[in-house]
Structure 1
């Protein structure tokens, strides 16, 4: 039975790949004479008034992506019912195809760390775009120049500009259709290829930049045409002339360029709120895009509908108020929050949840890595928040009592997710090297918990050696390690799995160190020997625990939740859209209308899409929600609305004074070393790792800033490629997320 399931899974995976091949073949065939004739024949045979879209576009653009999405859910369910795809370890290191595709090619580039699969993706997109644009433009410009010039008609070179401009816009539809997939957080297409949503965001950025560049060039060439023929007034008219509402296109381009500028790293990192709020104008961009040339919407209709279905499910999930089960303020200022989860709530160590705290801000959502493990059977999900911005500092101020709100603080939150890597690929390695910078330690706390619980469950084939390199600015920042005490999971863990911590405090300012270390502002000390000091293993300063009789937990209604319910929602919404749009075509749209045809069609198209998602998809979600409510009631969980937790429902415990005795904290269970006032020399670190793990495949996971990832990726490539086949092979994985 398992063999049949594995065979079916592989067949469906091949079918999904074939769907995208069909999607790409369309763009290859259209510029060719044979391809044009073939697509024209398909349009003649398939196009109907009810369908609206040309038959070739529906068959080769919409249908393949929709079919791939539905089949992806089947593959996801089959993976849960088949044996784990563990990599078979060998005595000597080997570069298998899967590892080779993730091998680092450029550790330092304007686009960050680039792997083989990244470069392959970019090469595929650029090749498809260049072929579509260059071949179509060459053929059409050639035909224009061969035709005799008609007296009074625009000059041939200006007509050439029109043909080039139209082909720029047509080729821009390739990246524009795809850029919606990476930002669909629960996308089955991302899950089936095991591409975590937070990693796929960079693909969205690349596709958006390519699309906007082509749209900008399209606008520029049309402006040249209008200027050369003294028709600049056409740029500012709302009439559809000819076939496009020009002013809508320019307005859409302006919005798109503003979104692009505010999404640049220099703006996004310093003004995240500005970036996030401006990016919500994507709705206005798409509406104006549809009004500009409504026929182009058919190329992107299915990816856009999948995105909006995902967005609607997220909206429904976030409407549920979730109580904060426990909050702890660490000496470093970081806050640990815990939430209740249902018994069958599934998440992974590299999962990410989006959190909104209404008492801090009613609009701002922020992503956080989970630090807990679902294997602990506690039905809790925890995150750690470091005060590095206005929103996060506001959380610390509230929980520490430094900030008093106008009304009593409510221990409520809204959560979306979880999303993230479902492969647990780190279990494939006998030796793991975890490298974290700052708050990037959080996903590794979850990985350590997961591995320890798996050992407790007597699972086999787990990592046997783990080296954690943690770079923090101040010694007190290391207190986040206190959120995980491995002895609580496995009292004798040190005899079962070798975990060694290499902590680096990078600040060289003596004021950042405890008084007892002022005579050692730089150097190395033994972590376990000096583990009693609070800067290594400090207790939380206080904790707050909810004591309400009913605790509202995280909702199971998630865009990455039940495959059956999500797939049913998608099918209902897509079928509803087709019916509504077909009826709109038959009843309201007359295709011989003149100047304002685009506006009427685009409004009806958008209305059909919204009604389909909200009504047709919403009915399925309502049934899903009712089913979950009944399950919660049978399990004795809170199903009623949140009544608001005030101070009477909260217990606050002061665990220690901010000026606690340095020797009063518990002894650290971690073995390793603490480097004071030093930064790691990664070349030396990997030299040592190569000697220690000769002949092994080593998984290197990095979570932290871009420069840290680039440094480590460079050393992984250097020590793997230049040391011969007898030494260790380092497989680089970036597990940090960036929006």
Structure 2
């Protein structure tokens, strides 16, 4: 892509987003309220109405950023651009807070979190200070001064929950290219969704508890709690919305989500009920502040559902001694994805509704027709899959068995941050090696095919038992293919719970070779996994949905809303405006669904001949022939890695001045490496300052 086009799109996104942020900063001020009332009155007498103005100012900017971002991602193919550069602000990626309830926090996360907290504080202060100055009495409750002030604190807490709701759904968009533009994994952005959800529920509960407390001390709780006002705030709708939000929040707690995933999964779909009752409670003007996230999530969901309707079949499965399974699926030829991307899979024979995310272990540069993932048996769903495949191995009936699978994705970061570095230090623990496998394959491809891309990599892999080392089967061909003169990948392996005399990787290869492979019948499927919709199409669908929603809203409002007359206090019931928004939203989403289905039907040309058993087995033969490795790779038994020693020597060993440190594994491991990276980054006198360390924490589970 031309640099000028890239710069224009970037600048456009920054300007639109900055303008949207400025609106939110000015939103609670007196200056904004006075100017906004004047603007609404002028717009009320036009065909667009006050609702058109609210949509244009509060909703459209984020929709525009998403559309521009999708076009930018389409033009800026992160898998094909190699551009190594120094990071302009290295401390933003450095860990600042190591041990906290939120985990390891980088400088960028701490900065953005601080700015968001300051924004919430500013919003609350601006609103509450004006309320305390006015001291407008609530006639129906006859509040005294302290009761009035407490009531206003509760009311303004609801506005803070609204601000969190405006951002809540954006981090969990899988294909709409907002957080992906920053090079973030989907799992990482989900963490921000969790933070926003917790903060939103905190303010929502504070809002509801304080309001009902004041009703209670005024002996008016029974009357107020059951009211459905014709205009203004609807009390009963707010209480229903709060109750639904509490159900979603409680079942999302880690203690419940990890043990009762289905309960979490099904109750989480109550978000539709929560959003509807938020609209009925807060009114249409407040709903436009959160509408962009709702529409983007609906479009994202529709596209994912349509994509996952096409099922493919499993080609092969390798059972590793560590009770993990490598699954190989068909993918459309030419489909590209970034390393550390994930796909969501559903196996109807196990569960018709459960979708599970898995890191892709293969590289789209090296595998044109196949895609691989690793499934570690850690729960009911994964154990049932393991039993199915193990039974096929024992009965030698894999070639007669067909295992249909539905696939969503792949989803991954648009920009590949590891390409910025001269050297990579990968630190993995157990199954945490999974997201690194695609990086290692990508680096091998780049080193072999791109003269201007020469990355040195050291992998520190820590496991409890020797059988867990069978995960290395997936990179043994890479170790064998590199020559002594061009050795770019070195391993340091630590087996913590076994004692053994020092050995080499070559000596333990027979133990790693105990892999059972089963090949499945693919004749039952005529299709590969469905190709995700093109980013340009997604931008067009977003634009189409926005236009249809706005046009429907204008038509319905002009047809059904009465012209309000201040002289006679003639007002439309609040529920009418709310119902028209819901109808417009349904019309927009149905139209987008039909457009997506029509486009996919016209381009349904990914029919390919079934893969023969001989073609599938070629992968296994290639791996078996590659089972030799250099004796230079280290294996240590009965000890943990000394990260201080490793980090201090790594810059000198690789000769790199710009080093990326990527960690994926247990939280104590991430904290240990993050602490050392922070120490070396800020200790100007340290020897390691000869190389710049940039810390990145990867996740492999939601």
TM-score (norm 1): 0.85
Aligned to 1:128: 119
Question: Take 1:691 and 1:85, find their aligned partners in 2: how far apart are those partners?
Answer: 25
What aligned pairs does 1:674-685 form with structure 2 within 5 A after superposition? 674-685=635-646
Aligned with residue 280 of structure 1, among 269, 277, 297: 269
Aligned to 2:410: 418
The yes-or-no answer on 1:27 pairing with 2:24 is yes
Aligned with residue 732 of structure 1, among 695, 698, 701: 695
Question: 1:338-391: per-residue Cα shift (whole Å, max 9, x none)?
Answer: 111112211122110001111222121111011111112431110011111111
Aligned to 1:460: 452
1:403 Cα deviation after fit: 11
1:598 Cα deviation after fit: 4.2
Q: Which moved more, 1:153-162 or 1:671-680?
A: 153-162
Q: Contact 2:185–2:698 (CA<8 Å) still a contact in 1?
A: no
1:336 Cα deviation after fit: 0.9
Q: Contact 1:236–1:247 (CA<8 Å) still a contact in 2?
A: yes
What aligned pairs does 1:482-631 form with structure 2 within 5 A after superposition? 482-486=473-477, 491-508=481-498, 521-522=499-500, 524-528=502-506, 530-534=507-511, 537-548=512-523, 551-556=526-531, 558=532, 561-590=533-562, 597-614=573-590, 616-630=591-605
Q: Structure 1 residues 380, 150: closer, same or farther in 2, change over 3 A?
A: closer
Question: Take 2:558 and 2:688, find their aligned partners in 1: how far apart are those partners?
Answer: 68
Aligned to 1:471: 462
The yes-or-no answer on 1:392 pairing with 2:382 is yes
Aligned to 1:327: 317
Question: Take 2:651 and 2:482, find their aligned partners in 1: how far apart are those partners?
Answer: 28
Question: 1:257-304: per-residue Cα shift (whole Å, max 9, x none)?
Answer: 232233233333343333323222212211221222232211111211
Question: Take 1:116 and 1:186, find their aligned partners in 2: how far apart are those partners?
Answer: 26
**Can you give the 5+ residue segments of structure 2 that lack an aligned partner in the other structure?**
none
Question: 1:220-262: per-residue Cα shift (whole Å, max 9, x none)?
Answer: 2211221232210134415127622212212221222232233
Q: Structure 1 residues 166, 235: closer, same or farther in 2, change over 3 A?
A: same
Aligned to 2:81: 84
The yes-or-no answer on 1:176 pairing with 2:165 is yes
Question: Take 1:343 and 1:192, find their aligned partners in 2: how far apart are those partners?
Answer: 25
Aligned to 1:251: 240
1:553 Cα deviation after fit: 0.5
Aligned to 1:212: 201
1:55 Cα deviation after fit: 5.4
Q: Structure 1 residues 715, 522: closer, same or farther in 2, change over 3 A?
A: farther
Q: Structure 1 residues 183, 492: closer, same or farther in 2, change over 3 A?
A: closer
Question: Take 2:89 and 2:358, find their aligned partners in 1: how far apart are those partners?
Answer: 28
Aligned with residue 222 of structure 2, among 218, 233, 241: 233
Indicate the SS of the match to 2:354.
coil
TM-score (norm 2): 0.90
Question: Take 1:399 and 1:409, find their aligned partners in 2: how far apart are those partners?
Answer: 10
Q: Which moved more, 1:597-606 or 1:385-394?
A: 597-606
Aligned to 2:344: 354
Aligned with residue 332 of structure 2, among 338, 342, 355: 342
1:79 Cα deviation after fit: 2.0
Question: Take 1:261 and 1:524, find their aligned partners in 2: how far apart are those partners?
Answer: 50
Indicate the SS of the match to 1:368.
strand
Q: Contact 2:361–2:437 (CA<8 Å) still a contact in 1?
A: yes
Question: Take 1:241 and 1:324, find their aligned partners in 2: how far apart are those partners?
Answer: 56
Q: Structure 1 residues 58, 152: closer, same or farther in 2, change over 3 A?
A: closer
Q: Contact 2:314–2:402 (CA<8 Å) still a contact in 1?
A: no
1:10 Cα deviation after fit: 1.7
Indicate the SS of the match to 1:460.
coil
Q: Contact 2:41–2:50 (CA<8 Å) still a contact in 1?
A: no
Q: Structure 1 residues 152, 496: closer, same or farther in 2, change over 3 A?
A: closer
Q: Contact 1:239–1:595 (CA<8 Å) still a contact in 2?
A: no
Aligned to 1:517: none
Q: Structure 1 residues 588, 487: closer, same or farther in 2, change over 3 A?
A: same
Aligned to 1:315: 305
1:16 Cα deviation after fit: 1.4
Aligned with residue 673 of structure 1, among 626, 630, 634: 634
Q: Contact 2:67–2:539 (CA<8 Å) still a contact in 1?
A: yes
- Following TM superposition, the consecutive aligned residue runs of length 4 or more in structure 1 with deviations greater than 6 angstroms are 149-152, 402-405, 591-596, 648-653
Q: Structure 1 residues 207, 594: closer, same or farther in 2, change over 3 A?
A: farther
Q: Contact 2:476–2:628 (CA<8 Å) still a contact in 1?
A: no
Q: Contact 2:97–2:104 (CA<8 Å) still a contact in 1?
A: yes
1:590 Cα deviation after fit: 4.5
Q: Structure 1 residues 195, 98: closer, same or farther in 2, change over 3 A?
A: farther
Q: Structure 1 residues 196, 652: closer, same or farther in 2, change over 3 A?
A: closer
The yes-or-no answer on 1:289 pairing with 2:264 is no
Q: Contact 2:314–2:522 (CA<8 Å) still a contact in 1?
A: no
CA RMSD of aligned residues (A): 3.3
Q: Contact 2:181–2:413 (CA<8 Å) still a contact in 1?
A: no
Question: Take 2:575 and 2:609, find their aligned partners in 1: how far apart are those partners?
Answer: 49
Aligned to 1:516: none
Q: Structure 1 residues 684, 725: closer, same or farther in 2, change over 3 A?
A: closer
Q: Contact 2:343–2:411 (CA<8 Å) still a contact in 1?
A: yes
Q: Structure 1 residues 151, 62: closer, same or farther in 2, change over 3 A?
A: closer
Indicate the SS of the match to 1:100.
helix
Question: Take 2:650 and 2:78, find their aligned partners in 1: how far apart are those partners?
Answer: 37
1:314 Cα deviation after fit: 0.4
Question: Take 2:408 and 2:44, find their aligned partners in 1: how far apart are those partners?
Answer: 41
1:44 Cα deviation after fit: 1.8
Question: Take 2:448 and 2:663, find their aligned partners in 1: how far apart are those partners?
Answer: 26
Tell me how many residue pairs correspond in the alignment: 687
Q: Structure 1 residues 404, 43: closer, same or farther in 2, change over 3 A?
A: farther
Question: Take 1:121 and 1:202, find their aligned partners in 2: how far apart are those partners?
Answer: 14
Indicate the SS of the match to 2:318.
strand
Question: 1:473-500: per-residue Cα shift (whole Å, max 9, x none)?
Answer: 2111111211233259x73444323311
Aligned with residue 210 of structure 2, among 203, 221, 230: 221
Q: Structure 1 residues 717, 180: closer, same or farther in 2, change over 3 A?
A: same
Question: Take 1:596 and 1:412, find their aligned partners in 2: how far apart are those partners?
Answer: 53
Aligned to 2:290: 300
Question: Take 2:234 and 2:401, find their aligned partners in 1: how far apart are those partners?
Answer: 50
Q: Structure 1 residues 153, 379: closer, same or farther in 2, change over 3 A?
A: same
